[in-house]
Amino acid sequence: ELGLPESLMNMIEVPRGLVLVTGPTGSGKSTTLAALLHTINCERKEHIITIEDPIEFVHENRMCLVNQREVSSHTKSFANALKAALREDPDIILVGEMRDLETIHLAMTAAETGHLVFGTLHTNNAAKTVDRIIDVFPEGQQAQVRVVLAESLRGVIAQTLFPRADKPGRVAAIEVLVNTHA
């Protein structure tokens, strides 16, 4: 329905790693992530944990077991919820917003240790997203963060919405960065 590119849809096929959806507020990040999780939920058996603020789309269990957590209602912070989620043996984790160093570090660790992690950041393009993640860390850790990202980052989806020319509504303009390993 959303007309998402095949390269984006291929990112849900990876067994582990970090997939980031970025863009300004109101760019459809949550809708894109909901569509990706819905596809997974309809096609395979996984344990999905979402951490959101607020929960925007309710995912009923179809083939997957889906546990949704809301910051403030169910947990103090994204970082606290992510720590707790790692003890619940999820296959897939959605981190609604990766705002701070601790949350970003935990998401990268989860991706590095065998989970498929989806997250969002407020950046305008794929290259800025990678720079933003690296720049959150102290200078002495940035070289190691580059190594971890090189191994665990599967892709970045940068998007924004534009008014449709043919009918009422908006359409997403999507940039997809796919990490290919040499």
Asked if residue 54 belongs to a domain, the reply is yes
Residue 136, SS3? helix
Q: Which domain holds residue 86?
A: 6-90+99-158
User: What is the rounded average pLDDT of the residues 167-182?
Assistant: 89
Asked if residue 182 belongs to a domain, the reply is no
- In the chain, % of residues over pLDDT 70: 98
Asked if residue 81 belongs to a domain, the reply is yes
CATH of the domain at 74: 3.40.50.300
pLDDT in tens, 96-120: 999 999 999 999 999 999 999 999 9
Q: What is the pLDDT of residue 8?
A: 86
How many other CB atoms sit within 10 Å of the CB of residue 76?
A: 9
Q: What is the pLDDT of residue 154?
A: 96
Name the pTM for this structure.
Answer: 0.94
Asked if residue 48 belongs to a domain, the reply is yes
Asked if residue 171 belongs to a domain, the reply is no
Residue 130 pLDDT > 90: yes
Q: What is the tally of structural domains in the chain?
A: 1
Q: What is the pLDDT of residue 169?
A: 92
Query: In what side-by-side order are the strands of the sheet with 153-163?
Result: 65-70, 47-52, 92-95, 116-121, 17-22, 153-163, 170-178
Asked if residue 177 belongs to a domain, the reply is no
Asked if residue 167 belongs to a domain, the reply is no
Residue 1 pLDDT > 80: no
